[in-house]
Amino acid sequence: MVLIPAGEFIMGTNKIDTEDTHKKIGAVKPLYLDQHPERKIFLDAYYIDRYEVTNAEYSHFLEVNQFTDIPAHWQDGVFPEGQGDHPVTQVTWWEAWSYCQWSGKQLPTEEQWEKAARGPDGLPFPWGDEYIKGKANVGIEGDRKTMPVTSYPDDVSPYNVMGMSGNVMEWTLDWYLPYPGNTRKEFRFGKVFKVLRGNGFQKAGHYFLEAYRYSFSRTEANPNDFFENVGFRCSSKL
């Protein structure tokens, strides 16, 4: 795990999509508005996994606990050959939460995840101010499948946390709720959906847009659902 020191960081954004891109692509909600307002937050020190949880690590968890909820794409309870160091996917929020609890950790909050990704200066991307194609397994320009968690060494945050821009999107602890100071009437806000952070490989869809590449971007999903490009990592207190 990586120690994230105590201190302030910049969370969220004040960006606005002046072109109403969501209407052109058929997205449910306007871009950026659920990430308002940009604000400074203080967090106590904590630890976060340097890498996303892998198939091999999750397989060990299943074996030790005789856990019966197996990722949907595994055959006879075994992950695909040669993919032990790929991030585990097709796990629900509840399954990810169970793994973190078993390991003596917890799913990261949105605040913990975003600070680990953006650093104390609120970088829009883990590596800096500009998006650079090829630094992460992201969108439709990447590998369009999971890759080993060490395969994109340039996808690294100021705290040396890896893979926070790409490979797979990640479950967080939090419900999809408005940030303090956000007065938007979003019908999906509430204790129904959990928040996904980061981006991942994509085969199609609107997640390849620039708006979803930023480290402040957030997406919501039903905690009972699972996806081929969603995984997780854990965090813990000191």
Tens digits of per-residue pLDDT, 115-127?
Answer: 999 999 999 999 9
Range of the domain at 96: 2-237
Residue 107's pLDDT band, with cuts at 50, 70 and 90, is very high
Under the banding of pLDDT at 50, 70 and 90, the label for residue 204 is low
Report the number of distinct structural domains present in the chain: 1
What is the tens place of the pLDDT at every residue in 7-42? Answer: 999 999 999 998 888 777 766 688 999 999 999 999
CATH number at residue 210: 3.90.1580.10
Q: Mind giving me the DSSP string for the chain?
A: -EEE-SEEEEES-----TT-HHHHHT-SS-SSGGGPPPEEEEE--EEE-SSPPBHHHHHHHHHHHT-----TT-BTTBPPTT-TTSBP-S--HHHHHHHHHHTT-BPPPHHHHHHHHHTTTT-SBTTBSS--TTSSS-BTTS-SS---TTS-TT-B-TT--BSSSSSSEEEEEEEE-PPTT-----TT-EEEEEEEES--B-SSSGGGSGGGTSTT-EEEE-TT---TTEE---EEE-
**What are 170-195's pLDDT values in tens digits?**
999 999 999 999 999 999 999 999 99
